[in-house]
A and B are shown apart, each in its own frame.
Chain A
Amino acid sequence: MSAVAEKADTKDQPVKQVKKPEASSAEGTKKLSGKELKELKKLEKAAKRAASKEASGITPEEQKQIAEQKKQKAKEAAAAAAAAAQAHATNTNLKKQLNQTLIKDKAAQKKIPALFSHLETREQRNASSPSISHIVHPEILTLTLKYSTYKIVGSMPRLTAMMKAFKIVIRDYETPANTTLTRNLTGHLSHQIEYLKSARPLSISMGNAIRWLKQEISVISIDTSDEMAKEILCEKINDFIREKIELSDQLIIQYASKHITEGSTILTFGHSQVLEELFKYCAREQGKKFNLIIVDSRPLFEGKKLLHNLIDTTIGDDTYGQVPITKDHIRVQYTLVYSLSSTILEDVDCIFVGAAAMLSNGRLYSRVGTGLIAMMAHSRNIPVLTCCESIKFSDKVQLDSVTTNELADSDDLAQDQDLKKPPQKKSFALEQFLKAKKEAASDETNNNNSTNTNKNKQQQQKQKQQQQQKDEENKADEEPDVPLKDWRTTPNLNILNIMYDLTPPEYINKVVTELGALPPSSVPVILREYKNT
């Protein structure tokens, strides 16, 4: 019953809102909170549009004008529609208009090769991010910041962190009046996810996990008390982390460790959580001695992280003292992908690469550079193995790494080597906050200016001067002479910094999953057999 009613609401609402926005919002608070949410969503959308426009260079004034025009148009249209009782057509028409303006603006602004122009840049992601930070849980805000600064990187760490954050979100969640947890929590989570996406797009494993969680929420009986339901969900998330991540990794390590034999030479690329554990396991638990070549790449230098973590891992007992595993057990060689030439690959027995996703046509979607290494290994008949939890399996089919990919910040590439600082990024929420603060401040000064005495003015001038000085100092600090400093304004200069690439199945010998080792051609079998369970 109520579902039908809601549907009817959605149909009517656009018209209603244009006609009498105050009335509908007032109504919303009184009545259904589902409606409230819809309102929120609408506001978000509006904010998104505004933000994206701003990002594409339209000033707030212009925007206001446009908005005014649109409102008028919409009003006229709505009036006409109401008269003709054709609310639907106008609604879609309006949307179309909006979309058209959006696309044009975007195309003018992009600074990446045209082939990749369909991918979302960081600016666009931020622009399209809803200004809903007031309903986003602090835990998610923190997580978003960690994602965007690559503090948490790699498919599995990201997934684990997200699930843990969701647990806290669920624990702190309170069902609004007149609705149930089963129906409302999914929406609440969607807001969090929406915000999370402003840092980086969701990975395949995160998408799979979110789908699972929403399914779990929806099957909770409506009679369950909120406390109980939250308890159940948290328990389920715990089980999920244990089963799909921790235990899976253990099994994968067991299977994969057979390929690391005493005295063999293993090559790995970048950093993968499960591979790090694998190397540690082989050295500490099995006492194997082997050579490890860590191949790394710009700009993330994830291999350094692996190296660091391996050096930090110790072996031995307290009586004889702890020594790092890299001392006696793993002889590490660290190199960049560019030097991956003849001599390095000469005596490699086996190559282990991580995975971001396994696609159903057997292709491996992984950190950019993996394909290159796999092909190189194939030409030398070196087996390439990938360790991939089944949560990363996707039923998607992709033939190239252009259609779907992730654009990282071009600044990461433009930055110079001499600049020792790691890529600095502000969180979107922080940017918003700063902007709001600035606006408030300027408003205040304006007000003060009109009413205050000379004395105050002088003070303000002094302050301003100080501020300017400070700004200049900061500028000098921030911008040394970097060759690509002006890449944003240089015409015809595009920078491409993509995150992933696709490795064809011919170049992968084995996929090690917690269900056993498989050839890449068997990925669809796993998907088929396990989709139902």
Chain B
Amino acid sequence: MSSFNITEAYLKFLEDDPDLTMPIAAIESLVTMLRVKQPSTSSELINLVKSNIEVLKSSISNAISLSAGCDLFMRFVLRNTNLYSDWESCKKNLVENGELFVQRAKESRFKSAEFGIPFIKDDDTILVHSFSRVVYQLLLLSKKEKMIRFRVIVTESRPTGKGYHMAKLLQEAGIPVELIVDNAVGFVLHKVDKILVGAEGVAESGGIINHIGSYQIGCLAKANNKPFYVATESHKFVRLFPLSPNDLPEEINKLIASQVPSESNTDVALNTPLIDFTPHEYITALITDLGVLTPSAVSEELIKMWYD
């Protein structure tokens, strides 16, 4: 019973289902943890969840979206323990609702994609940065179900190279794809109709935390008057409020930087952050499972989520 390892469970969930996003995997592993550990008092339960979240956050790099899921679950636990007077039913309910929660979160990607379809039109050229499951789902849906004809330009997304993955998937779906280096965004921008990116997390101001390079694309989009859309799920809303692109919790960026493979043929070690923050003024709209939101509506949703 005591040998349960939250990090292992989390990684296993992610491995088993490549479509699973980090916040959902986190919630799922927490629910599993509760089922295994069987806490006997509510304070034990809360402490258990708390300590496990701590372990999870510290051991996993890039914990932004992960922490969104954890916080959401923590709040869910706190709210439910107060709701029931009877401990047994409370515990049972928690596990059951936790599963329901996971189920709903999984569906939210498809919902977001559906809300986003009207934004894609025939003969569009869409610039996509890095890989995002929601963006992929949205483009796939537009192509397969709505038969919309459009082109996609994908950035290479160094240093992770996730853009290659995205381009490959889109090509397999029969969408015309062009791959460019990150530095060529400015070059192609004037023929791009709209920009579509995913998000690791959505901050309270409505700004997004995403793969490095999103901020510069946002700035260029604003300067060129191109709409900048963010496709994401509402469980990625985090209670963070960075003030500038580099104003992210230090631990997060440190872990990421150390992960980057250093280029062997140079003397100077590559040390780059992997995520940045794009302030809300660069974002046209957020396409989420709650509907299409303006950046300022995010804080409204967050407040509703946390204080109702």
Contacts and interface: CB of A to CB of B under 8 A. Distances in A.
Contact of B205 (A259, A350, A519, A529): A519
A350 to B, nearest CB: 8
Chain B CB count within 10 A is highest, among A510, A518, A519, A525, for A519
Interface string A480-510: 0000000000000000000000000000011
B296 A515 contact: no
A383 B245 CA distance: 12
A521 B244 contact: no
Given A529-B304, A529-B307, A518 B299 contact: yes
A383 B243 contact: yes
A515 B302 CA distance: 11
B204 interface: yes
A521 B293 CA distance: 14
A509 B307 CA distance: 22
Contacts of B304: 529
Interface in B293-308: 296, 299-300, 302-304, 306-308
Nearest to A530: B307
B57 interface: no
Contacts, number: 44
Contacts of A385: 243
B241 A383 contact: no
Interface in A417-465: none
Chain A CB count within 10 A is highest, among B204, B280, B299, for B299
A522 B299 CA distance: 6
A360 to B, nearest CB: 13
A259 B243 contact: yes
A526 B299 CA distance: 10
B244 A519 contact: no
B207 to A, nearest CB: 9
Contacts of B239: 516
A509 B243 contact: yes
Interface string B276-304: 00001000000000000000100110111
Nearest to A533: B307
Contact of A519 (B296, B306, B307, B308): B296
B306 to A, nearest CB: 8
B213 interface: no
Contacts of B307: 515, 529
A515 B299 contact: no
A530 B302 CA distance: 14
B303 A517 contact: no
B303 A529 contact: yes
B218 interface: no
B206 interface: yes
A525 B299 contact: yes
Contact of A526 (B241, B244, B296, B303): B303
B280 A519 contact: yes
A516 to B, nearest CB: 6
A350 B308 CA distance: 32
Nearest to A510: B241
A522 B243 contact: no
A385 B306 CA distance: 22
Interface residues of B, number: 17
Nearest to B296: A521
Contact of A525 (B206, B241, B300): B300
Interface in B195-219: 204-206
A151 to B, nearest CB: 36
Contacts of A509: 243
B263 to A, nearest CB: 31
Contacts of B308: 529
Contacts of A529: 303-304, 307-308
Given A522-B299, A529-B304, A510 B206 contact: no
Contacts of B241: 510, 517-519
A509 B206 CA distance: 12
Given A525-B303, A529-B307, A516 B204 contact: yes
A518 B206 CA distance: 10
A516 B204 CA distance: 9
A522 B203 CA distance: 13
B244 A522 contact: no
A521 B243 contact: no
Given A383-B243, A510-B243, A517 B204 contact: yes
A488 B299 CA distance: 51
Interface in A310-327: none
Interface in A380-418: 383, 385
Contacts of B205: 510, 518-519
Contacts of A259: 243
A50 B204 CA distance: 55
Given A383-B243, A529-B308, A522 B280 contact: no
A518 B243 contact: no
Given A510-B243, A529-B308, A519 B303 contact: no
B117 to A, nearest CB: 28
A519 B243 contact: no
Interface string B227-253: 000000000000101011000000000
Contacts of A510: 205, 241, 243
Contacts of A518: 204-205, 241, 299, 303
A518 B280 CA distance: 12
Interface string A342-379: 00000000100000000000000000000000000000
6 contacts: A350-B243, A515-B307, A516-B306, A519-B205, A526-B303, A529-B307
Interface of B: 204-206, 239, 241, 243-244, 280, 296, 299-300, 302-304, 306-308
The 5 A-B residue pairs with the shortest CB-CB distance, nearest first, are A521-B296, A522-B299, A383-B243, A519-B205, A525-B300
Given A385-B243, A516-B302, A525-B303, 20 more contacts: A383-B243, A510-B205, A516-B204, A516-B239, A516-B303, A516-B306, A518-B241, A519-B205, A519-B280, A519-B296, A519-B299, A521-B296, A522-B299, A522-B300, A525-B299, A526-B303, A529-B303, A529-B304, A529-B307, A529-B308
